[in-house]
Structure 1
Amino acid sequence: MAEVSLKSFIPESFSRSTADITGQIGLLRELIKVPLVVPLLRIAVYLGLVMSMIVSVERLYMLIVVIFVKLFKRKPEKRYIWEPVQDDVEIGNAAFPLVLVQIPMCNEKEVYKISIGAACNLSWPADRLLIQVLDDSSDIKDMIEKECIRKASKGINIRYQTRETRRGYKAGNLKEGMKHDYVKECEYVAIFDSDFRPEPDFLRRCIPFLMHNPELALVQARWKFVNSDECLSTRMQEMSLDYHFTFEQEAGSSTHAFFGFNGTGGVWRIAAINESGGWKARTTVEDMDLAVRAGLEGWKFLYLGDLQVKSELPSTFKAYRSQQHRWSCGPANLFRKTTMDIVRNKKVSVWKKVYVIYNFFFVKKIMVHMFNFFFYSVIFPLTVFFPEVEIPKWGTIYIPFIVTTLSSFGTPRSFHLLFYWIVFENVMAFHRTKATIIGLLEAKRANEWVVTQKLGDALKNKSNTEAAAPAKKVRFKLRDR
């Protein structure tokens, strides 16, 4: 057999090229561009355009649902029975169901008093309300316990519970809290993270829906952010989360009576939790896992967009990035674990299975992150260097315009910040895509849980202190700004 050399595969012009490395790289680029790079880039563009169509159609669909709800005034009170709970002269407070309020926390020194104080101010008969503070702390255990003792001395029915380990993190904490005997008498459980501040009438607005509609498992309230004006980062976060609550939660509640539990600011029927298998603590988004299992058992969910619970946004990029890693990695990992269970389930319709797998998981939790990163931050810029690959105007102008404009409807006051929001979301798309891939592959960081740092009144107190004290030179890390 004749000897085959590398020269037989390389054009003569290449061998006669100069020794200049830059020139050789440029020539090699020209050699592989037409037969390899351009076709692959065209395929990537087509896939990106398909994904952009899917995302835009999904967002238009949610917009239509929300407009329909607003125009025809399809308020929750019209779709479900709602009657206020009132005192009964004959039976007294027995007309009120016994409600458990759970407050899970872990070393949250700056905010632990916030939700404890708000829970104690709930407008509900004292003998029909049980507040349970679930503490995974090690550093501030004594501080939280003293606060609970102080509240109990005022006649408030409050219990303080701790654990030896943090196994299962927040879900493990909630699971442990449900094991106590006194919880068995409760019919409903309201869950508030340590920085959440429910209004006094919160239970009086939520509980009647659960009392008069036995098919309902969950009533979820909307989050309202007390520090949204703190910095540009919090304004961007507010825009993203307001869109989630205004469109995603409203559309899911109005059409399928199903959406993902946000983990806090909601009230569960305890019977629905038990029937769905309880808190399993198998993912970092156990709240969403429980919602999926409850939905597959046939339970319905209700979102109350008019009921707002004050909360706090992460003030630093580091804290926000850790939160987004958990929120992106967890759903992807849950999708991996539950897809076949959803397919095999016989208690819900085929249409609901398709909705949960395709719309709830694939489009909203997986594809949208990858699409935003790969199409706008990788494929789109690459086409600049390859004029042979063209992207139609509807893919470069109209679709992005529609998607971006719809995303701003949740927060009209920040419309003028859309440019910054686009840049901010493109940066976060990288982190979310990485976390999504980790969750799908169940890689090393798939079950990572970092408590999102909240500052509460620390910034205000710090500002007051610094105003009175001489200015000091402060050293900081850029990533912690």
Structure 2
Amino acid sequence: MNLGDAMLVTALWGIWTMLAYWVFLSVGASRYYFSSNEEVVRLARWEGHLPFVSVMVPAHNEALVIERTVRALCGQDYPVDRYEVIVVNDGSSDGTGDIVAELCEEFPQLRCYDVPIGEGGKGKSRTLNVGLVQARGELISVFDADNTPEPTCLWLLVATLENDPRLVAVNAKVRTRNRDATWLTRFINLEFIYFQWLFQGGRWAWFGLSMLMGTGYVIRRDAIDVLGGFDETSLVDDTEMSLRIFRGDQRIRWVPYAVTWEQEPETFRAWLRQRIRWTQGNLSVIWKYLPHAVNHPYPLGLEILTFLFNYVIFVPALVTSHLTFLLSILGVVTVDIPGPYLYMWILAVVIFTLHMSFAALSEDRRWSDADYSLLCYFTYAQLFILVLFSAAYQNLMGRLFRKKLHWAKTARTEEGE
């Protein structure tokens, strides 16, 4: 077997292992789609105890989006005397605190807490820990400052959590509010729908496993206290908290019928910074919890295995596939193994496109989204190769030169009404 043959075989095994896994997850996602539709009907008749909820909104220079978020949170179909909304103003210099202070006069459940001077600007986890000290709820909910949850979102999250004692946390479905703003936000909209149904819904159906997503979630306060709050050294508070929960053999559930809408980056630069930060954080927490996976094969080990499949098997296999094609065109390597490789590549593209199209159509019934699915394969999806290698390089340099990971805030965009 020559070099070209070896590269091709490696690429095929890596890519088709993941494709087979995705097909398996899609079957579970379909099951979960129908079962969740039935469950939301049952929950509509539920009349159980509604615990007091503290909704925390970490906010650092969020003047462009904070009013819309506060109004959505204070307009929830949840008894006003059973929840509070705490905007943790993390050293904002753009008037965020003033906007929230004015809204406090309109909404009795709203409070604004200003992080003391000198203690702010240290990342989302630090801001959440400061807010925890102010929170009075039995349950803690976290929403990013650019989120507008639907009116039933909080109630459905709480009802789902209270109806299943196995759960310590639940996460809403996150949708893209500005999905029609640019070509980039259209792709992000597709990505979020696809990721959530396949990796959240599909894995929950088969393994009882899903993760926190950083916004739109509710978690039991006693669980946070046992875990010691949010990890202030991590760039990804959601992934890190999820893995700690899994290490304790606890469960998180993704709830597709509770929906929150958020603003996504509209420029490539803002998107790239955000995704590199996420990937840097994910790589760091995987490294941190990898030694514990052996002692906790389920759910922690299985969760880490999912990350490893993507980062260590699939993306390198995809890069190898691209290199094999390029080098064979240039005549540097030759492929002598016979096989229907062109048809296998076409089938892989078809599977990807169908998965993404079905996920998009199940949400919005917009054929324009499905049209973007094929284009997504050749453009947006390939950008994650750049993201992964950039994040891995920065993490490596950080370890070699003992530099701390840097929190990069996502830029907001002013939206019309």
Offset of residue 397 of structure 1:
2.8
Match of 2:18 in 1: 55
TM-score, reference length from structure 2:
0.87
Q: Is the 8 A contact 1:272 1:299 kept in 2?
A: no
**Greater relative contact order structure (CA < 8 Å, 6+ sep):** 2
Q: Is the 8 A contact 2:62 2:96 kept in 1?
A: no
Find out whether 1:382 has 2:327 as its counterpart.
yes
SS of the counterpart of 2:293?
Answer: helix
For 1:241-268, what per-residue CA distance to the aligned partner results, in whole angstroms no more than 9, with x for missing partners?
A: 1100121110122222222211001111
Match of 1:159 in 2: 111
Match of 1:236 in 2: 187
CA distance in 2, matches of 1:44, 1:128: 60
State how 1:15-164 maps to structure 2 within 5 Å: 39-70=2-33, 73-75=34-36, 78=39, 82=43, 86=47, 95-140=49-94, 143-154=95-106, 156-163=108-115, 164=118
CA distance in 1, matches of 2:26, 2:240: 26
Unpaired runs of at least 5, structure 1: 1-37, 88-94, 462-481
Q: Is the 8 A contact 1:331 1:439 kept in 2?
A: no
Q: Which residue identity does 1:399 align to in structure 2?
A: A
Find out whether 1:277 has 2:277 as its counterpart.
no
SS of the counterpart of 2:379?
Answer: helix
Unpaired runs of at least 5, structure 2: 362-366
Find out whether 1:207 has 2:158 as its counterpart.
yes
CA distance in 1, matches of 2:406, 2:67: 27
Q: Which residue identity does 1:64 align to in structure 2?
A: V
- In our comparison, the structure showing a higher alpha carbon Rg is 1
For 1:119-141, what per-residue CA distance to the aligned partner results, in whole angstroms no more than 9, with x for missing partners?
A: 1112222222111111223312x
Offset of residue 79 of structure 1:
11
> In structure 1, which of residues 416, 426, 432 is the aligned counterpart of residue 387 of structure 2?
432
Q: Is the 8 A contact 1:171 1:287 kept in 2?
A: no
How has the CA–CA distance of structure 1 residues 310 and 329 changed in structure 2, closer, same or farther, with 3 Å as cutoff?
same
Offset of residue 453 of structure 1:
1.2
Q: Which residue identity does 1:265 align to in structure 2?
A: G
Q: Which residue identity does 1:368 align to in structure 2?
A: F
For 1:312-346, what per-residue CA distance to the aligned partner results, in whole angstroms no more than 9, with x for missing partners?
A: 1211111111111122222111111111122234x
How has the CA–CA distance of structure 1 residues 290 and 122 changed in structure 2, closer, same or farther, with 3 Å as cutoff?
same
CA distance in 2, matches of 1:118, 1:65: 32
CA distance in 2, matches of 1:218, 1:80: 21
For 1:139-166, what per-residue CA distance to the aligned partner results, in whole angstroms no more than 9, with x for missing partners?
A: 12xx333333323323513222233334
How many positions carry a matched residue from both structures?
402
Q: Is the 8 A contact 1:45 1:375 kept in 2?
A: yes
Match of 1:355 in 2: 302
Farther-moved stretch of structure 1 (437-446 vs 123-132): 437-446
Q: Which residue identity does 1:113 align to in structure 2?
A: E
Q: Is the 8 A contact 1:336 1:440 kept in 2?
A: no
Match of 2:198 in 1: 247
Match of 1:264 in 2: 215
Offset of residue 104 of structure 1:
0.8
Offset of residue 365 of structure 1:
4.8
CA distance in 1, matches of 2:16, 2:312: 15
TM-score, reference length from structure 1:
0.76
Q: Is the 8 A contact 1:81 1:209 kept in 2?
A: no
CA distance in 2, matches of 1:313, 1:155: 27
CA distance in 1, matches of 2:64, 2:237: 25
Moved over 6 A (4+): none
State how 1:215-234 maps to structure 2 within 5 Å: 215-234=166-185
Find out whether 1:448 has 2:406 as its counterpart.
yes
Find out whether 1:287 has 2:244 as its counterpart.
no
For 1:378-417, what per-residue CA distance to the aligned partner results, in whole angstroms no more than 9, with x for missing partners?
A: 3322221236225741543323432343233322432222
Find out whether 1:407 has 2:364 as its counterpart.
no
Offset of residue 279 of structure 1:
0.6
Q: Which residue identity does 1:67 align to in structure 2?
A: S
The alignment yields a C-alpha RMSD, in angstroms, of 2.7
